[in-house]
Structure 1
Amino acid sequence: MSPQQFREIAWNGLWKQNTGLAQLLGLCPILAISTSMVNAVSLGLATILVMAMSNLAVSALRNFIPYEIRIPVFVLIIAALVTVVDLSFNAFFHDLYLVLGIFIPLIVTNCIVLARVEAYAAKNDPLTSTVDGIMMGIGLVWVLAVLGGMRELLGAGTLFSGIEMILPGASAWNVFGDGYPGFLIAILPPGAFFALGVLIAAFNAINVRLAARARRNPPPAPTQTAEPKEDAAEPAAAG
């Protein structure tokens, strides 16, 4: 994989084709689990693992999967990998596993994972497919982190609430102090829609500015070497 190809895959996953802001896929877990930054990022990291492994598995097996039954096979592969991730969370992060609840098993039906498997992994080699899955997952994670941080900060006045479930001994950061009354709507379902709408509006505004800057400063045209002129035809000999 060339550096140019890597940069293109990374840019698509992190920004241009961001699953949460550009494609608007997987909104159910994005809106439901983003009540705190820790919960949101934890689900995002689980999704990264599933996307990377499923892209790798599908890409490696793509020449052996009949086209007519590819979707059931893809779902079966994703379900097996989600089961591994689900059991791993239950074993190593049990308290967090109880908080995330049904949303880890629901990664099986997450259209983000199936979309990348069908659109990219089934058509490309294992290395680039794995990188694509990781970058798409990281793009989802930063959206979840910002969304969860916004809602937690406005709703409870804290950041990293529940971090002790991952790092024993750590504690949340009480940003506004104990006297902060909280903005309840921020951690309720309507707050998720409002916060996501603000992020999408900011995302679109930045894209407009980037497009305007690109129009003002177009990339330099590649230089072309002048082709040698053909030799002038010799004068015809006098008859």
Structure 2
Amino acid sequence: MDIKAYRDIAWNGWWKQNPGIVQILGMCPTLAITTNIVNALSLGLATMFVMGMSNLAVAALRNFIPYEIRIPVFILIIAALTTVVDLSMNAFVHDLYLVLGIFIPLIVTNCIVLARVEAFAAKNEPLGSTLDGIAQGAGLTLVLVVLGALREFVGSGTLLSGIEMIIPGASPIVLFGDDYPGFLVAILPPGAFFALGSLVAGRNWLEARKAARARQAPPSIDTPVEAG
């Protein structure tokens, strides 16, 4: 692959094929864990690590994995990497580990991870596959963090709530004072749907605006003009 191919892979993960707002995959953790930035970022980084490393492992071993048993082998690789993340978070950020709970082991069953392993890593070389996994994971993390920020800002009037679980002694940013009553819907599941729908609509609007500008742009000098 050349530099342009790697750039396209990164751009696809961040924007064109973003798993959170384009492919609409992994909705369970996306909607459930994005009540604040800390939870969203932590789960997003954990997922990104598993995606990058599983893509690397599958791409490196793809020629040795029989086609008939590829899915069980892929899941075994993903499960092993998820176990590493699970045990590491339990050891080093135990309070955060308790908050994220079942959603860390559920990375194994996240359709985003298996989809990229099957669709890309099993057919491409290790470097490009690793970049694809990291880019897709970063795209998902971006969506999770934006959702978490929106829901935490509107629902609680704070940012970085729970940061003390990662950095002892740190405090969240209080935006509206202690007398802010909060907006409960933003923290509840309906708020997640509203926020995610707004992100999807915003992304589609930007793409439609870009396409409209492209249609209205004057033709390039090098573009041949058909005779009428």
TM range (shorter): over 0.9
CA distance in 1, matches of 2:217, 2:131: 31
Larger Rg: 1
CA RMSD of aligned residues (A): 1.5
User: C-alpha separation between the residues in 1 aligned to 2:123 and 2:218?
Assistant: 32
Summarize the Cα distance change of 1:180–1:84 in structure 2 as closer, same or farther, 3 Å threshold. same
Sequence identity percentage: 72
Deviations 1:48-85 (A, max 9, x none): 00000000000000000011111111001100110001
CA distance in 2, matches of 1:79, 1:214: 44
Q: Sort the Cα spacing of 1:169 and 1:218 in 2 relative to 1 into closer, same or farther, 3 A.
A: farther
Relative to the length of structure 2, the TM-score reads 0.95
Whole-Å separation in 2 of the counterparts to 1:3 and 1:218: 29
Match of 1:110 in 2: 110
- Structure 1: tracts of 5 or more residues without a match: 225-239
TM-score (norm 1): 0.90
Partner amino acid, structure 2, of 1:104: I
Give the corresponding residue for 1:4. Answer: 4
- CA distance in structure 1 between the partners assigned to 2:135 and 2:209 by the alignment: 24
* Aligned residue number for residue 142 of structure 2: 142
Q: What letter matches 1:18 in structure 2?
A: N
The change in CA–CA distance for 1:219 and 1:59 in structure 2 (over 3 A counts) is farther
Cα offset, 1:219, TM superposition: 8.0
Tell me, in whole angstroms, the C-alpha distance in 2 between the residues paired with 1:195 and 1:223.
42
Judged with a 3 Å threshold, the aligned counterparts in structure 2 of structure 1 residues 223 and 214 are, in CA distance, closer, same or farther, namely closer
3-state SS of 1:108 partner: helix
Q: How many residues align?
A: 224
Shift of 1:2: 2.0
Q: Which amino acid aligns with 1:174?
A: V
Cα displacement (A) at 1:221: 7.4
Q: Secondary structure at the match of 2:25?
A: coil
User: 1:22 is paired with a residue of what secondary structure?
Assistant: coil
